[in-house]
Amino acid sequence: MQPCPVSCPRPTLTQFKSTDTVVSAAATGPFVNFRYNKAAVVSHVLKEVHTRGTAYGFTNEGAGKRIVVEYSSPNIAKPFHAGHLRSTIIGNFIANIYQGNGYDVTRINYLGDWGKQYGAAHACKHGSGVQRRLLTSGGRTGHTVQHAGLLAVGFERFGSEAELAADPIKHLYNVYVAINVRRYATRRDRHAHELGPT
């Protein structure tokens, strides 16, 4: 069990020296609380803004360094929601901060989760009947499931071209849910049959 923070040893402040902006420091448990001279801080910031103009807040400390910022990267098989927008906004703020400090920033917002939901659609159309039976009956051949495309097989059973044209994301999500319900229900039935009557 971790000790209570306030019971931890206090840090020593023997080397602390006050300045015109930071006037004092006090230790409380493992924490150090600093007191600032608000007037001095405001004066310093305004002078910097006046001197540097539009360059204020920008540095070159990240020059020569590269960073990747990933945004929301939504799951293409599910509906969008407010969380995706929030993550994208936060990601954009973080990327702007790094870019303003000289970093070479790569921004990524890819469409996530293309794996078993989509797979290879042509395998659904041209694959063998064995592949399709494995998918819809909850078969244990994982590679076959991935290559045949779970959503593609689901669309054959539950899909509608009219509904797909009207609302693609919603319809594909409904198809994805339906084929998973069918797949796992069949798997449970098979398992129960293997166990036999209790």
Dig out the tokens for 44 from the structure: 């310093």
pLDDT at 35: 94
Examine the residue annotation and report whether 171 is marked as an active-site residue of this protein.
no
Length of the chain: 198
141 neighbors 101 (Cβ within 8 angstroms): no
- Residue 115 pLDDT greater than 60, yes or no: no
Kindly state the tokens that stand for 76: 């293409």
Q: Amino acid letter at 124?
A: C
Helices (H), the chain: 38-52, 82-100, 121-126, 129-136, 142-148, 150-158, 161-166, 168-195
**pLDDT greater at residue 137 or residue 55:** 55
pLDDT tens for each residue of 15-68? 888 999 999 998 887 888 999 999 999 999 999 999 999 999 899 999 999 999
Average pLDDT over residues 129-133: 44
Give this prediction's pTM: 0.48
84 is annotated as an active-site residue: yes
109 half-sphere exposure, CB direction, 13 A CA radius:
14
Over residues 143-152, the mean pLDDT reads 53
Task: Read off the pLDDT of residues 83-113 as tens digits, 9 standing for 90 and up.
Answer: 778 888 998 999 999 999 999 999 987 766 5
Alpha-carbon distance of 169 to 70, in angstroms, equals 22
Q: Where are the alpha helices (DSSP H) in 73-167?
A: 82-100, 121-126, 129-136, 142-148, 150-158, 161-166
pLDDT tens string 64-85: 999 999 887 777 666 677 877 8
Question: Residue written as tokens 């000790």?
Answer: 3
CA distance 101 to 103: 6
Catalytic choice (44, 81, 122, 191)? 81
Query: Could you tell me which residues are beta bridge partners of residue 68?
Result: 106
pLDDT at 36: 94
Residue 133 pLDDT more than 60?
no
Q: Are 99 and 66 in contact (CB under 8 A)?
A: no
Residue 50 annotated among the catalytic residues of the structure? no
Distance between first and last Cα of the chain: 45
